[in-house]
Amino acid sequence: MAHISEEQIAQWDLIDPLAEKREAFTLPANTVYLDGNSLGAMPTAAALRGKQVLEHQWANDLITSWNTHSWIDLPATVGEKIAPLIGAAPEQVICCDSTSINLFKVLASAMTLQKNRSQVLSLAGNFPTDLYMVEGLTALLGESHCHLKTVDEDTLEEALTSEVAVLMLTQVDFRTGRLLDMQRVTHLAHKQGILVIWDLAHSAGALPIALDECDVDFAVGCGYKYFNGGPGAPAFVYVAKRLQAHVSQPLKGWMGHKQPFAFAQGYEQADNITQYLCGTPNVVSMSVLDAALEVFADVNMQQIREKSEALSELFIALVEAEVALSDLVLVSPRATKDRGSQLAFEHEHAHGICQALIELGVIADFRAPNILRFGFTPLYLRYQDILTSVQILTQVIQQKVYLQAQYNKQNKVT
Amino acid sequence: MAHISEEQIAQWDLIDPLAEKREAFTLPANTVYLDGNSLGAMPTAAALRGKQVLEHQWANDLITSWNTHSWIDLPATVGEKIAPLIGAAPEQVICCDSTSINLFKVLASAMTLQKNRSQVLSLAGNFPTDLYMVEGLTALLGESHCHLKTVDEDTLEEALTSEVAVLMLTQVDFRTGRLLDMQRVTHLAHKQGILVIWDLAHSAGALPIALDECDVDFAVGCGYKYFNGGPGAPAFVYVAKRLQAHVSQPLKGWMGHKQPFAFAQGYEQADNITQYLCGTPNVVSMSVLDAALEVFADVNMQQIREKSEALSELFIALVEAEVALSDLVLVSPRATKDRGSQLAFEHEHAHGICQALIELGVIADFRAPNILRFGFTPLYLRYQDILTSVQILTQVIQQKVYLQAQYNKQNKVT
């Protein structure tokens, strides 16, 4: 690690404009957490809110809290907090259900708009649940009305033909961190009359997103990764305002009704983003996410992006400077602009290395068969943490600590 | 209130075998809570668990908690706690999503099994979201493959013909508390080759249910009413073991995959109840529900039913004994065996009366246009509370307090 000194790294932390944001989080001692791309760390205010909702709102005010504590407004409240973070003007984002279920809603909406086309195009390397949800819709509509086609990244643009009904893409690849050009791809698709759905699971909260500016049709995303909303936090859905009067989603639960409390027998969908709600909102989890999003109130996504780039570039520089780490092969794009906020490396002992790192307090991530993932979350990581993690990584590989690692890591939620 | 003395009522509390269960709950002071049929009160252990999941599991153990704190098992763990409370042998119940979404899953599953029938039969008075979800499925499958027919209760049995694909009923009516005969109706439906879905929203946790014994095909239910799982708690779904190898549900999220962590491109559904999962489980809320269910560990549903009957019979007796309350018209079935754990009365000033009751510490419930609902939750209500509530109700009506009531109660989740 010759050409970047420890003093230099300490200096970067000193002048980091986001440095004090770390204090908003409760973090475990002696741990470098490089897995915020799977599960964000806990904003202290999120736990306080959870406690308040349980012990005060639920326990004392019971059913009256739907009004007195505005529980009924939570899906919209949280949606409007997320909106500016993903480049959406108001009244286009709402918080509800899971990413998978929201994907089903927008997939079905989009297919209904595209009456004479049946192909859903995606990338073969997309996060599996996204592809599975298309299969589910196919099972209902039939192959002739909905079928999935997957292509590799290098043939994506040529696959954008007038046969495609819907293009469904994840902006940042969950394995490699590859970042797609949302503006370009959306534009190319629209030229062919294709509707576009973006899954923001690995990008929302990590980098600036401009849904409105890119003229995106639909988007979904996750509350528990870079938004730090807690394990299994509710997800969100975006539908462009210009489409809202024309779409219809099939999970017609009472909360999407124009007047849910009229208890009318027939469904009349809300004529705005509210129609994307289904059942009763999950108040406890949604409140926790609501409080977690406050961390973003006084930062902008450009600041976050700049630090994210700097952290990951530092990680790469330190790895490249260390001879012992020469067997680590970067599988993320080398150009910063083409990546989200994570790095992936191949190594034949990736699984054991990941286990050893966790035992030594560096929480990284393994993806079968041989990939090590490191996620960089600018709100609570220091430059110093990057140095520490590469030092420990070096120790693990140099001393072959991975041969003894015992940590059992069978099931892990991305 | 002539023929039942206060001493008699106090005596009932003294000998009540469930009396000490009240201590497991955190309840507001000076309040009689008769709305546990909308949102159950808070078991103290539920809040403690919520706090622990936030401050300890999430904050300290972060992503590793999926294994170390068995987050990944929560849907099954909670499902297996609910199973015995609804008369289900193991491996048939799983906790996930909302009641509405689970209804969609089982509706679609059932319709797929019934290839040559297209009618979904329900009652006109069913909880609206149930009917809406059928409309949503119709929008996907087309009228010729799925259409809703609703009938009134008195013509239900004659409507059970070989044209019906699926009978979808809510066991206890959300307005009147009317309890259907699950065994009889399921049997009559099966004789016509009809598959049966029961919505247990207003019955699970309130009375003994015998899903297996009644040979029920599918059921869904709610975590936040009589199970006291917290506002918007996750719901549950039951699929009879004998059907599990034959069904397929269309919300094919990764958690329903046979091997979710293999990240395979194609969906291969789990061959058990796990296939009813979709996205990542909501850990915080599901943990709270998990802890809440511990209250049921050492009681049986028959005990709960007996006290529920006694509480509601006492309420009726006290109302009937009070001349000032003669304008309250019972719209629930008069026979105890035909009711769930709630009573509904019509009164022209129902809305104002409900507001006045809440202001005076009796939390009841209003349903448009003129219905007052009172729910009885044996785990935390005393016989004394019933006396108190009827005394305050008498005061409200006798002194026309409802004319001044200001409490604004626009939106309320049932």
Across the interface, of A67, A280, A408, the residue whose CB is closest to B409 is A67
Interface membership of A367 toward B (CB under 8 Å):
yes
By Cβ distance, the residue of A60, A62, A411 closest to B66 is: A411
The DSSP-derived string for B187-234 is HHHHHTT-EEEEE-TTTTTTS---TTTTT--EEEE-SSSTT---TT--
Q: Strand A235-239 vs strand A329-330: parallel, antiparallel, or unpaired?
A: unpaired
Q: Return all residues near B327 (Cβ < 8 A) that are at least 6 apart.
A: B347, B348, B397
A88-97, B3-12, B41-50, B200-209: least confident range:
B3-12
Tell whether B67 lies on the interface with A, counting CB pairs under 8 A.
yes
Q: Mean pLDDT across chain A, nearest whole number? A: 95
A256 CA: distance to closest CA in chain B (Å)? 10
What confidence score (pLDDT) does residue B404 get? 81
- Put simply, the chain B residues between 328 and 357 with a CB less than 8 A from any chain A CB are none
B104 vs A251: CB contact, 8 Å cut-off? yes
Question: Tens of pLDDT along A11-23?
Answer: 999 999 999 999 9
Phi-psi label, residue B124: left if phi above 0, alpha if psi -120 to 50, beta otherwise:
alpha
- β-pairing, B329-330 with B342-346? antiparallel
Cis peptide before B369 (omega within 30 of 0): yes
| Close Cβ partners of B84 (under 8 Å, ≥ 6 residues apart) | none
CB contact under 8 A, A284 and B230: yes
Answer yes or no: is pLDDT of B115 > 90.
Answer: no
Residue A121: pLDDT over 60: yes
pLDDT of residue A115: 85
**Amino acid making up residue A80:** E
Q: Do B281 and A232 touch (CB under 8 A)?
A: yes
In the three-class reduction of DSSP (H, G, I as helix; E, B as strand; rest coil), residue A409 is classed as coil
Question: Which residue in the block uniquely carries the two structure tokens 């004479």?
Answer: A116
pLDDT at B154: 96
Q: How far is B397 from chain A (nearest CA, A)?
A: 22
Tell me how close the Cα of A4 comes to any Cα of chain B, in angstroms. Answer: 30
| Confidence category of residue A406, pLDDT binned at 50, 70, 90 | low
A70-296: which CATH number, 3.40.50.1100, 3.30.70.980, 3.40.640.10, 2.40.50.140? 3.40.640.10
Of A233, A265, A368, the CB nearest to B128: A265
pLDDT of B277 over the 80 cut: yes
User: Is it the case that residue A373 has pLDDT exceeding 90?
Assistant: yes
Which tokens hold the place of B381? 């209500």
What are the residue boundaries of the structural domains of chain A, listed by start?
6-43+299-403, 70-296
**For chain B, first and last CA: distance in Å?**
31
Residue A75 has pLDDT above 60, yes or no: yes
Q: Is A91 exposed, middle or buried (0-12, 13-18, 19+ CB in 10 A)?
A: middle
Q: How many CB pairs under 8 A join A and B?
A: 308
Q: Does A317 touch chain B (CB under 8 A)?
A: no
A242 is catalytic: no
What ipTM is given for this predicted complex? Answer: 0.96
Q: What is the Cα–Cα distance from A48 to A287, expressed in whole angstroms?
A: 10
Q: Quick one: how many helices (H) and strands (E) in chain B?
A: 12, 15
Is A263's CB within 8 Å of B367's CB? yes
Determine the longest span between alpha carbons in chain B, in angstroms: 72
pLDDT of residue B185 exceeding 90, the answer is yes
Q: For chain A, first and last CA: distance in Å? A: 31
Which residue numbers of B are catalytic? 127, 199, 224-225, 373
Q: What is the per-residue pLDDT for A153?
A: 95
Average pLDDT, chain B: 95
**Cis ω for the linkage preceding A369 (within 30 of 0):** yes
Report the pLDDT value the prediction gives residue B358, as an integer from 0 to 100. Answer: 94
**Residue B406: pLDDT band by 50, 70, 90 thresholds?**
low
- Residue with the bigger pLDDT between A367 and A199: it is A199
Distance between CA atoms of B218 and B106, rounded to whole angstroms?
7
- What mean pLDDT comes out for the span B154-165? 98
Q: How far apart are CA A385 and CA A30, in angstroms?
A: 10
B406 touching chain A per CB within 8 A: no
Q: What's the full length of chain A, in residues?
A: 414
- Return residues 113-142 of B near A (CB < 8 Å): 124, 128-129, 131-133, 135-137, 139-141
Flag whether pLDDT at A365 surpasses 60. Answer: yes
Give the residue from B315, B323, B402 showing the smallest Cα distance to B357.
Answer: B402
What ranges in A346-382 are assigned the alpha helix state H?
Answer: 350-359
Question: Does domain A6-43+299-403 match CATH 3.90.1150.10?
Answer: yes
Q: Does A270 touch chain B (CB under 8 A)?
A: no
Q: Do the chains contact at A140 and B140, CB–CB below 8 Å?
A: yes
Give the list of residues 6+ apart from residue A274 with CB closer than 8 angstroms, or none.
Answer: A75, A76, A94, A255, A256
CB contact under 8 A, A97 and B97: yes
pLDDT tier at B23, thresholds 50, 70, 90: very high
Percent over 90 (pLDDT), chain A: 94
Question: What is the CATH architecture of B6-43+300-403?
Answer: Alpha-Beta Complex (3.90)
Phi/psi at A287 (5° precision):
-65, -40
Mean pLDDT of B397-401: 93
Asked whether the predicted pLDDT for residue B409 surpasses 50, the reply is no
Q: Directed axis angle between helix B383-398 and helix B301-320, to 10°?
A: 30
Test mutation, A22, A26, A34, A54, chain B, max B CBs within 10 A: A54
Q: Which of B22, B31, B55, B98 to mutate to test the interface with A (most CBs of A within 10 A)?
A: B98
Tokens matching residue A402: 């991975």
- Domain A6-43+299-403 identical in fold to domain A70-296: no
Residues A288, B283: C-beta atoms closer than 8 Å: no
Q: Report d(CA A342, CA A172) in Å as an integer.
A: 9
- Whether residue A292 is predicted with pLDDT greater than 70 in this model: the reply is yes
* Cβ B78 vs Cβ B71: under 8 Å: no
- Please write the tens of the pLDDT for every residue from B199-248: 999 999 999 999 999 999 999 999 999 999 999 999 999 999 999 999 99
Interval B235-250: pLDDT, tens: 999 999 999 999 999 9
Distance CA A185, CA B401 (A): 64
Q: Where are the alpha helices (DSSP H) in A16-73?
A: 44-52, 65-68
Q: Give the nearest chain B residue to A148 (CA atoms).
A: B266
- DSSP assignments along A296-350, one per residue: GTT--HHHHHHHHHHHHHHHHHHHHT-GGGTT-EE-S-SSGGGB-SEEEEE-TTH
- List the catalytic residue out of A81, A105, A373, A382: A373
Per CB-CB distance under 8 Å, the chain B contacts of A110 are none
User: Has A373 been annotated as catalytic?
Assistant: yes
- CA A107/CA A173 separation, integer angstroms: 19
Query: What six digits make up the tokens of B169?
Result: 């009923």
Contact B315, B9 (CB under 8 A): no
Position A82 pLDDT exceeds 60:
yes
Q: In the predicted model, is pLDDT for residue A409 greater than 50?
A: no
**pLDDT exceeding 70 applies to what percent of chain A?**
97
Kindly state whether B321 is in contact with chain A, defined as any CB-CB distance less than 8 angstroms: no
pLDDT at A397: 96
- Give the least confident one: A202-206, A262-266, B94-98, B325-329: A262-266
Indicate yes or no: CB of B63 within 8 angstroms of CB of A100: no
- Residue B192 distance to chain A (closest CA, Å): 25
**pLDDT tens digits, B282-311:** 999 999 999 999 999 999 999 999 999 999
> Span B121-128, mean pLDDT?
96
Task: At B151, list the tokens.
Answer: 């009938």
**Confidence band, pLDDT 50/70/90 cuts, at residue B186:** very high
**Structure confidence at residue A3 (pLDDT):** 77
Please give the single-letter amino acid code of residue B82: I
